[in-house]
Amino acid sequence: MIYRRLLRPTLFTVAGRDAEAIHERVLGMLARISASPAMTQALARLAAITWPGDLGREREVFGLRFPQPIGLAAGFDKNARAVHALAALGFGFVEVGTITQQAQPGNPRPRLFRIPSDDALINRMGFNNDGANAIAKRLARTREFPVPVGISLGKSKLTPLEDAIADYLASLDRLYPWADYFAVNVSSPNTPELRALQERERLDALLEVLQARLRERALLADEQIKPLLVKVAPDLDDAALDDVVGVCLAREASGLIAVNTTVSRYGLSAAVPDALRNEPGGLSGRPLHARAVEVVSRLARRTGGRLPIIGCGGVFTVDDAQRMLDAGASLLQLYTSFIFEGPGIARLLARGLAKRENHMPLARP
Ligand SMILES: Cc1cc2nc3c(=O)[nH]c(=O)nc-3n(C[C@H](O)[C@H](O)[C@H](O)COP(=O)(O)O)c2cc1C
C-alpha cells in the first residue's frame, strides 16, 4: 500500500520518466546492499518488520530445497549482482540472466515501456548483459547464496543459429559452479531467430549436448546432476507445446518454466494508445496471466506430473498464485508485479499461500 500510494508515483513520475533508468537505480541499490553482509541483514530485518509473517514450508522440487515457492523471474538481475538483497526481500529463489557467452549491449533505448493502466510492461531489451566470463568472475568473488539460484542461458546475438549449441555450452561451462539449476531460454522474442530453438529437432539437439555436459561434470565432481529447465513462450500453439514436452521428457530435462513474454497484445485494454501497444517487444504482467495459466495447465496435463513446472506470467495476487499452483505449477516466478507492487510482493504472496495451506484440511491417508 505504502509502495503503491507513495513510493511508486515518485518512481514512475518524478524520478523515473525513463523506465530503464529507474530500474538501473533500484538494481544498483540492491547490488550495493548485496555486497555488504551487514546491509543485507538489515534489509532482511526491515523486510520482516514491514511485511511480517510466516513464509510457509520448505519444499523440494527437482532435487533442490526451496524456502517458499515464489521466485524472481529472469531478466531483473541480468548480471547476478543483487541476489542477496533479493533473498532478503523474501524471494524463495532467484533466476539470474539471461546470460550470453558474449557481452552485449542489447537493443537501442528506449526498450522498456510501462503500461500502468494495465499493470503491464513491454520490453525489447535484447539480452543486455556483461557476458558469461565477466559474470563468472563476479560470482567467484561473491559469498554463498542463501536461496537456490538459477542461471538463465541465452544465445549471443552475433552467433548464428547454426552455432547456437556451442554458444550455450560455453556459457554453461563458464558458469557451472554457481548454478543450482540452469534455465535454457529459447523463448525470448527479442533475439532474432532464438525462438526457432523451441522446434523439436533443434531443441532436441541442444538439450542432448547440454545434458551430456551436465552429466559429465556431475560425474567428475561426484555430485548430483544439476537440473536443466526449458523456458517456453506463451505464443506456441498446442502442437508446439506438446513437441517441447516430448523433447524434454526424452532428454530427461528436470522441468519447464512457463512462460516468457508474449508478442501478442491480447488482454491489453482499449485505453492503451496504439503507439504504445505497437511498440515491438514482449508483453508481461496482468494481460499475460490467463494465457500463462492456460499454458501451465496444458503442460501439466501433457507431462502427467513427470516434469515440475515453474509458473510465471502476471502473478500479482495470492489468488493468481493459487490459480497457477492449481493449474499444476510446483513453483512460481514473477517480474512485472515486483515493479508495480513493490519490494514486499514476494513476502506478501508467500505468506498468503502459507496461510491458505495452513487452513487446508489435512489430507486423510
Ligand atoms: C524487462 C524484462 C526483461 C526480461 N528479461 C528476460 C530475460 O533476460 N530472460 C528471460 O528468460 N525472461 C526475461 N523476461 C521475462 C520474465 O522472466 C517473465 O517470463 C515474464 O515477464 C512474465 O512474467 P511477469 O508477468 O511476472 O513479468 C523479462 C521480462 C521483462 C519485463
Label residue 20 exposed, middle or buried (CB < 10 Å: 0-12, 13-18, 19+): middle
Q: Kindly state the cell numbers that stand for 144.
A: 554463498
Question: Global pTM?
Answer: 0.95
- Looking at the domain assignment, is residue 86 inside a domain? yes
3-state secondary structure 134-190: HHHHHHHHCCCCCCCEEEEECCCCCCCHHHHHHHHHHHHHHHHHHCCEEEEECCCCC
- Cβ of residue 100 lying under 6 Å from some atom of ligand 1: no
- Looking at the domain assignment, is residue 361 inside a domain? no
From the CA of 312, how far away is ligand 1's center (Å)? 9
Q: Kindly state the cell numbers that stand for 39.
A: 546491509
What are the angstrom distances between the C-alpha of 67 and each of 306, 315, 337?
Answer: 22, 19, 20
- Cβ of residue 74 lying under 6 Å from some atom of ligand 1: yes
> Known catalytic residues?
188
| Number of domains the chain is built from | 1
From the CA of 73, how far away is ligand 1's center (Å)? 6
**Predicted local confidence at residue 196, as pLDDT:** 74
- Looking at the domain assignment, is residue 179 inside a domain? yes
- Looking at the domain assignment, is residue 364 inside a domain? no
Q: Block means of pLDDT (10 residues each) for the chain, length 365 residues? A: 63 64 91 96 90 84 96 98 96 97 95 95 95 97 96 92 93 97 89 77 93 97 96 94 95 97 95 95 98 98 94 98 97 96 93 84 46
- Looking at the domain assignment, is residue 279 inside a domain? yes
- Cβ of residue 284 lying under 6 Å from some atom of ligand 1: yes
From the CA of 363, how far away is ligand 1's center (Å)? 36
What percentage of the chain's residues is helix, strand, coil (to nearest 5)? Answer: 50, 15, 35
What would the pLDDT profile of 225-255 be if each residue is shown by its tens digit?
A: 999 999 999 999 999 999 999 999 999 999 9
**Predicted local confidence at residue 9, as pLDDT:** 64
Q: Write the DSSP assignment of 333-357 as a string of letters.
A: EESHHHHHH-TTHHHHHHHHHHHHH
CATH of the domain at 54: 3.20.20.70
3-state secondary structure 107-146: CCCCCEEEEHHHCEEEECCCCCECCHHHHHHHHHHCCCCC
**Predicted local confidence at residue 360, as pLDDT:** 59
Q: Which domain holds residue 136?
A: 2-354
**Residue 286 alpha carbon, nearest atom of ligand 1:** 25
**Predicted local confidence at residue 195, as pLDDT:** 84
- Looking at the domain assignment, is residue 359 inside a domain? no
Using most ligand atoms within 8 A of CB, pick from 335, 336, 339 the residue to mutate for ligand 1: 335
- Cβ of residue 123 lying under 6 Å from some atom of ligand 1: yes
**Predicted local confidence at residue 279, as pLDDT:** 95
**183, 74 contact by CB (below 8 A):** yes
- Looking at the domain assignment, is residue 328 inside a domain? yes
- Looking at the domain assignment, is residue 362 inside a domain? no
